[in-house]
Amino acid sequence: MRKIDQQIRGKLHGIELLLLACSAGGFKVLFDILKALPGNLAIGVLVIIHRNAKYETNIEVSMTAKCDIPIKVAEEKELIKPPMVYFAPPGYHLLVEPDHSISLDISEPVNFCRPSIDVTMQSVADVYGPSTIAILLSGANQDGAQGMTAIQQAGGVCIVQDPECAEIKTMPEAAIALGAVDIILTNEELVTFCKELNKHILTRN
């Protein structure tokens, strides 16, 4: 695990939300990250993954059986609470309201995607601001780059999968090109970071 500098470690203390996002090629490392998250994680987790609403995937069910942390499909007006992972349902944008409840939206796709990573990240930046960790993984388009910029500008921590480890580099490279990245981690480092997330959040060391 590469060393996280003192400034970033300071920002990690007091984090309230983890946002994980991926598209093509990102499912395996996403699964590995979710398996690594502790069952007593001190923060809520949102997951935005590009998938076609026409096809039933049951990702949440298959992951629940293999993860310590509980996983579910996000529901309208549901409050984000730890420890829980909320997946954006296919065909809906996921937004966060000021009271930390979930809002599902069927407005036009953004970057040809619904759910859109950018849409959720902008919403999270507006509500959680500096209390956000966003992790952007493999994907074949640039969805998420603008959203990472919004989270970084709001004071959150932005992490991307090392493009050299990503099955498809476009998504993490787009965020790096915009300068919207605080840390670049390999797949193994991402898993280790998330496994130790409570330590990063709950201590100043």
pLDDT digits (tens, 9 = 90+) for 127-147: 999 999 999 999 999 999 999
What pLDDT does 135 receive?
98
Averaged pLDDT, 26-38: 95
What pLDDT does 3 receive?
66
Contact status, residue 119 vs residue 143, Cβ threshold 8 Å: no
Find the catalytic residue in 50, 93, 123, 138.
Answer: 50
The domains of the chain, with CATH numbers, are 6-199 (3.40.50.180)
pLDDT tens for each residue of 153-198: 999 999 999 999 999 999 999 999 999 999 999 999 999 999 999 9
Considering the chain, what is the average pLDDT of its residues?
92
What pLDDT does 204 receive?
47
Provide DSSP, 84-131: -EEEPPTT-EEEE-TTSBEEEE-S--BTTBSS-HHHHHHHHHHHHGGG
**Catalytic (active site) residue 93:** no
Q: What angle do CA 82, 22, 67 make, to 5 degrees?
A: 45
Least confident of 15-29, 48-62, 109-123: 48-62
pLDDT tens for each residue of 76-125: 999 999 999 999 999 999 999 999 999 999 999 888 899 999 999 999 99
**Catalytic (active site) residue 143:** yes
What pLDDT does 205 receive?
42
58 or 98, which is more confident?
98
**Catalytic (active site) residue 23:** yes
What pLDDT does 202 receive?
78
Find the catalytic residue in 23, 116, 123, 138.
Answer: 23
Find the catalytic residue in 118, 123, 138, 143.
Answer: 143
Q: Which residues of 162-195 are buried (b: 16+ CB within 10 A; e: fewer)?
A: bbebbbbbbbbbbbbeeebbbbbbbbebbbebbb
